[in-house]
């Protein structure tokens, strides 16, 4: 832990309130965040589990399970500034990966239900979860350096800075290029402290955070074939990888998909021995969801009605069950009469509690909707983008509510 000019963040000399604290040691100094485990229990449980390594996570490059502290060595990769160049937030929490000259930010291998209705606002010095749409909360977070009320209702606040706000402001003031700090700002470590009885009793395993574990797998020979048996349990997703050197794992996704109902079962895969390398390694990881998976398996045969926030527009589309997809619908702009639409090339990308629906309509416009599916809710939130296919450089944001009866 790096000292901060005698302030001693990790062994504070002042009386702290009861609670859970996260002491950040960064390349620009230290600061402390108090985590609100009472109003954002799932988010705090996920953050604590990742920071300490108490919860497993997936090395997303190869879907291999590990339980090292997730945030150690990560970067504050983004600084958001206003139109005058003042930093308003710093963002971190993704693990940097460079592949083929492309830099990616990798998460823990799971996403969670959001909780932005917990009554906590984006005032100066709060920590909140970054996301890519409804119910995509993962490992990334941001810390505000000013009041940002227009972010309320879109992100889950789960704590506030109690010491070292000057360090947060220093990070927010660094020079950036396209919001990326010119010089890396590294998170060396995050130390979690629990002060007094209630905080110490907070059980991170009982808050509905997805659980990542190594999947039970058995290998045996059957004639000239290698047979792998692995266990599938309800409300889970299994991922499978192959490597010949334990370094490079095949990039093709052998995810077995979500298994949401039924009893525990054994799934068998067979490999011809002659097709395997001299040394071949297999790895299975499993994500279990304590909160049952809510996203539908498919978009086919469903009708979606979208109420856009701006402009005042309703877009309804009914997708066929046919293999080639597509469907029909209508659009109503304000109080004008609805006019028909034909849609093509619909694509469904599913996660546990959300899905991405993309399609092109007969005006040559492509839409991508990020759809949240909250337990027991008939109407849910969406975000997304649309653009004209012939001019994909100019994109427009979408947000609003939708139903899918």
Report pLDDT for 11.
39
CATH of the domain at 155: 2.40.100.10
User: Using CB atoms within 10 A of its CB, is residue 281 exposed (0-12), middle (13-18) or buried (19+)?
Assistant: middle
**pTM for the model:** 0.89
Report pLDDT for 266.
87
Give 3-state DSSP helix, strand, coil % of the chain, rounded to 5: 10, 45, 45
Report pLDDT for 10.
39
Residues 50 and 194 placed together within one structural domain of the fold: yes
3-state secondary structure of 41: helix
Q: Does residue 296 belong to any structural domain of this protein?
A: no
Residues 14 and 149 placed together within one structural domain of the fold: yes
Report pLDDT for 13.
41
Q: Does residue 338 belong to any structural domain of this protein?
A: yes
Q: Does residue 371 belong to any structural domain of this protein?
A: yes
Q: Does residue 297 belong to any structural domain of this protein?
A: no
Residues 177 and 99 placed together within one structural domain of the fold: yes
Instruction: Please work out, in degrees rounded to the nearest 5, the angle formed at the alpha carbon of residue 383 by the alpha carbons of 379 and 387.
Output: 130
**pLDDT (tens place) for every residue of the chain, 405 residues total:** 333 333 333 334 456 789 999 999 999 999 999 999 999 999 999 999 999 999 889 876 555 678 899 999 999 999 999 999 999 999 999 987 766 666 778 899 899 999 888 999 999 999 999 999 999 999 999 999 999 999 999 999 999 999 999 999 999 999 999 999 999 999 999 999 999 999 999 999 999 999 988 877 888 899 999 998 888 889 998 887 788 887 777 755 555 678 888 888 888 888 888 888 788 888 888 899 999 999 999 999 999 999 999 888 999 999 998 877 889 999 999 888 999 999 998 999 999 999 999 999 999 999 999 999 999 999 999 999 999 999 988 999 999 999 998
Residues 27 and 175 placed together within one structural domain of the fold: yes
Domain boundary among 255, 288, 321: 288
* Distance from C-alpha of 135 to C-alpha of 119, rounded to nearest angstrom: 18
Domain boundary among 264, 288, 312: 288
Report pLDDT for 48.
98
Residue span of the structural domain in which 50 resides: 9-206
CATH of the domain at 398: 2.40.128
Residues 126 and 162 placed together within one structural domain of the fold: yes
Report pLDDT for 321.
85
Taking the CA atoms of 72, 65, 349 and 260 in sequence, report the sign of the dihedral they define.
negative
Question: Which ranges of 61-174 does DSSP label H, i.e. alpha helix?
Answer: 165-172
Instruction: Give the number of domains in the chain.
Output: 3
Domain boundary among 186, 206, 226: 206
Taking the CA atoms of 134, 140, 141 and 145 in sequence, report the sign of the dihedral they define.
negative
10: enclosing H helix or E strand: none
């Amino acid at each position: 832990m790096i000292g901060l000019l005698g302030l001693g963040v990790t062994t504070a000399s002042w009386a702290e309130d009861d609670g859970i604290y996260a002491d950040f040691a960064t390349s620009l100094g230290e600061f402390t965040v108090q985590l609100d485990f009472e109003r954002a229990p799932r988010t705090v449980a996920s953050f604590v589990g990742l920071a300490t390594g108490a919860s497993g996570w997936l090395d997303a490059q190869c879907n291999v399970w590990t339980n090292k502290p997730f945030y150690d060595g990560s970067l504050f990769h983004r600084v958001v500034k206003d139109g005058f160049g003042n930093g308003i937030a710093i963002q971190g929490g993704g693990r940097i990966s460079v592949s083929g000259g492309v830099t990616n930010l990798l998460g823990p291998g799971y996403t969670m239900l959001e909780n932005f209705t917990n009554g906590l606002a984006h005032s100066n010095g709060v920590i909140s979860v970054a996301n890519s749409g409804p119910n995509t909360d993962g490992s990334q977070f941001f810390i505000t350096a000013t009041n940002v009320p227009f972010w309320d209702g879109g992100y889950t606040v789960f704590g506030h800075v109690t010491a070292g706000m000057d360090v947060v402001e220093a990070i927010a003031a660094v020079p950036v290029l396209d919001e990326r700090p010119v010089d890396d700002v590294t998170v060396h470590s995050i130390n979690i402290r629990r002060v007094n009885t209630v905080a110490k009793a907070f059980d991170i395993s009982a808050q509905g955070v997805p659980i990542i574990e190594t999947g039970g797998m058995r290998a045996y020979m059957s004639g000239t074939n290698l047979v792998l048996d692995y266990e599938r349990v309800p409300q889970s997703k299994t991922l499978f990888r192959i490597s010949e050197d334990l370094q490079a794992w095949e990039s093709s996704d052998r995810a077995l998909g979500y298994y949401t109902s039924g009893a525990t079962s054994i799934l068998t895969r067979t490999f011809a021995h002659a097709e395997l390398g001299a040394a071949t390694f297999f790895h299975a990881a499993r994500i279990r969801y304590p909160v049952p998976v809510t996203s539908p398996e498919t978009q086919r045969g469903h009708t979606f009605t979208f109420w856009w926030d701006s402009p005042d527009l309703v877009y309804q589309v009914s997708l066929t069950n046919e293999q080639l997809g597509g469907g029909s619908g209508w659009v109503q702009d304000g109080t004008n009469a609805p006019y028909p639409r034909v849609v093509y090339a619909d694509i469904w990308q599913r996660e546990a509690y959300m899905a991405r629906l993309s399609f092109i309509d007969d005006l040559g416009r492509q839409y991508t909707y990020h759809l949240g599916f909250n337990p027991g809710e008939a109407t849910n939130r969406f975000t997304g983008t649309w653009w004209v296919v012939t001019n994909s450089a100019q994109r427009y944001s979408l947000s609003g509510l939708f139903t899918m009866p």
